[in-house]
């Protein structure tokens, strides 16, 4: 498989992110493109990292947590990174369950208020 190198514009398009977002991810050292002058090239490593970053964001992980998690791989390898991921995932699952409960309570209250308002109209 040939090495894939994406330009800045191609990277934004492939991952449907704004240029500002991509530059910010570079600024906080989540990704490190190869530079030739002002031109950036994103290779397989950066593409894989971007997939992990966006997946982590989708699950609600903070960018700093994602950055630390990626650093674990660089410093210690896969197994320590996976252990850290399990811990992060456990914490996030608790947070998401709490958010789900809050949403369900809000929806229930809103349905009740809507029903009361509707009965006043009739």
pLDDT (average), residues 72-85: 92
Could you tell me where in the chain the CATH 1.10.1660.10 domains are found?
Answer: 1-58
Which pLDDT band, with edges at 50, 70 and 90, does 2 fall under?
Answer: low
- Per-residue model confidence as pLDDT tens digits over 97-116: 999 999 999 999 999 999 99
- Per-residue model confidence as pLDDT tens digits over 23-58: 999 999 999 999 988 899 999 999 999 999 999 999
47/26 Cα distance (integer angstroms): 13
> Please, what CATH class does the domain formed by 1-58 belong to?
mainly alpha
pLDDT (average), residues 10-19: 97
Residue 122 has pLDDT above 80, yes or no: no
- Which run of H or E residues covers position 102? helix 78-121
Which of these, 112, 64, 56, 63, lies nearest to 89 by C-alpha position?
Answer: 56
Residue 63 has pLDDT above 90, yes or no: yes
Position 1 scores a pLDDT of 46
* Region of 60 on the Ramachandran plot (φ > 0 left; ψ -120 to 50 alpha; else beta): left
């Amino acid at each position: 498989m040939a090495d894939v190198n994406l330009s800045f514009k191609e990277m934004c398009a492939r991952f449907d992110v704004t240029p500002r977002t991509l530059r910010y991810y570079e600024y906080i050292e989540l990704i490190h493109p190869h530079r030739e002058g002002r031109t950036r090239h994103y290779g397989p490593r950066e593409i894989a990292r971007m997939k992990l970053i966006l997946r982590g964001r989708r699950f609600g992980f903070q960018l700093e947590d994602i950055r630390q998690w990626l650093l674990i791989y660089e410093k210690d390898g896969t197994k320590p990174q996976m252990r850290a991921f399990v811990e992060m995932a456990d914490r996030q699952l608790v947070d998401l369950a709490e958010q789900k409960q809050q949403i369900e309570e809000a929806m229930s209250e809103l349905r009740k208020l809507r029903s009361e308002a509707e009965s006043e109209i009739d």
